[in-house]
């Protein structure tokens, strides 16, 4: 089944150039930037259920961001299931 997952992110200690690079890489990995909301993306994926879709979105997002030293806060939502909140820190 196809799911669309909303991913809102907060980046701490990430400069503007790195943010622009992260945004480009996220789009290369299938995350579509939502232009009306700062630091928000939509991720379309095939998954068995909403929880699996959210896990796929978190994995895709963190795989891109992990190469940039920053603290990342995520809020992830798909369908009517519970919102997932994650905080991760990536060291240089």
Q: Which domains does the chain have, with CATH numbers?
A: 2-90 (3.30.70)
pLDDT of residue 60: 96
pLDDT of residue 38: 86
Half-sphere exposure (Cβ direction) of 61: Cα atoms closer than 13 Å: 31
pLDDT of residue 50: 96
Structure tokens given for 46 = 């095939």
Mean pLDDT of the chain: 95
pLDDT of residue 68: 95
pLDDT of residue 92: 82
Max Cα distance, the chain (Å): 37
The Cα–Cα gap between 88 and 73 comes to 6
The pTM (predicted TM-score) of the whole model is 0.91
Segments of the chain scoring below 50 in pLDDT: none
């Amino acid at each position: 089944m196809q799911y669309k997952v909303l991913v809102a992110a907060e980046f701490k200690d990430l400069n503007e150039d790195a943010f622009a690079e992260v945004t480009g890489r996220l789009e290369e990995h299938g995350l579509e930037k939502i232009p009306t909301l700062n630091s928000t993306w939509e991720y379309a994926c095939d998954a068995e259920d909403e929880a699996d879709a959210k896990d796929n979105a978190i994995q895709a997002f963190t795989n891109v961001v992990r190469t940039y030293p920053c603290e990342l806060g995520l809020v992830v939502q798909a369908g009517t299931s519970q919102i997932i909140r994650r905080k991760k820190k990536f060291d240089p």
